[in-house]
């Protein structure tokens, strides 16, 4: 997923913010479970039962279970993002300044914001990203199993060939 922004949440989880049109293109229109990039978003969806029974299910049933879990997880991720996203970066340090620049670059390109509307502090970043999630322009996908340093980052660009 090259059009995403990874942000840390207060709880220690890592959240990928995916642009709404890209998210719905991956998960809707009959793709969903059959599409590997869509499964990357929710790798454990539909697998709350034992592995043997999951493997015994036909693909149609797996797709339906995956879709139900995806919708449940989407609702939980939106609520968790609103509750736990509290940027408190020290903008006078290199890491805080880099985090702000990553957010500014992402929202400039993905949300089409003009340079005079870009956030300049933690409160503006929180308001902008929470409003974008609430409106559906960004979709949060939370990795609750993340173990690592909290950081703000965009993935490396996709290979050109």
Task: Give 140's strand partners.
Answer: 17
Q: To the nearest whole number, what is the mean pLDDT of the chain?
A: 82
Interval 26-85: pLDDT, tens: 777 556 656 666 667 776 665 555 554 555 566 656 677 778 888 888 999 999 999 999
User: Would residue 27 count as lying in a domain?
Assistant: yes
Backbone angles phi and psi of 140, in degrees to 5: -80, 135
Is 150 among the domain residues? no
Number of structural domains in the chain: 1
Tell whether 159 is covered by a domain.
Answer: no
pLDDT score, position 2: 66
In a domain, 152, yes or no: no
What is the greatest pairwise CA distance in the chain?
56
What is residue 70's predicted lDDT score, i.e. its pLDDT?
83
pTM recorded for the entire structure? 0.82
Residue 97 located in a structural domain: yes
Give a yes or no: residue 39 inside a domain. Answer: yes
- Residue 82's CB: how many other CB atoms inside 10 A? 14
pLDDT at 119: 94
Q: What angle, rounded to 10 degrees, do the helices at 122-135 and 59-84 form?
A: 150
Query: 108: burial class by Cβ within 10 Å (0-12, 13-18, 19+)?
Result: middle
Domain residues for 45? 5-143
Banded model confidence at residue 143, pLDDT cuts 50, 70, 90: confident
d(CA 73, CA 70): 5
What secondary structure letter does DSSP report for 153? Answer: B
Burial level of 161, CB count in 10 A (0-12/13-18/19+)? Answer: exposed
3-state secondary structure of 14: strand
Tell me if 10 is assigned to some domain.
yes
Is 103 domain-assigned?
A: yes
Residue 16: burial class (beta carbons within 10 Å; 0-12, 13-18, 19+): buried
């Amino acid at each position: 997923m090259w059009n995403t922004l990874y942000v840390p949440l207060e709880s220690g989880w890592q959240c990928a913010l995916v642009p709404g049109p890209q998210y719905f293109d991956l998960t809707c229109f009959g793709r969903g479970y059959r599409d590997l990039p869509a499964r990357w978003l929710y790798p454990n969806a539909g697998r709350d039962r034992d592995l043997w029974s999951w493997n015994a299910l036909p693909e149609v049933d797996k797709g339906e279970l995956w879709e139900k879990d995806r919708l449940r997880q989407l609702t939980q991720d939106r609520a968790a993002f609103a509750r736990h996203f509290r940027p408190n970066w020290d903008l006078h340090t290199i890491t805080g300044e880099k985090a702000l620049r990553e957010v500014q670059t992402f929202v400039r390109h993905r949300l089409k914001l003009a340079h005079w509307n870009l956030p300049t502090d933690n409160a503006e970043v929180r308001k902008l990203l929470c409003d974008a999630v609430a409106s559906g322009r960004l979709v949060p996908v939370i990795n609750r199993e993340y173990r690592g340093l909290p950081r703000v980052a965009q993935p490396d660009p996709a290979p050109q060939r």
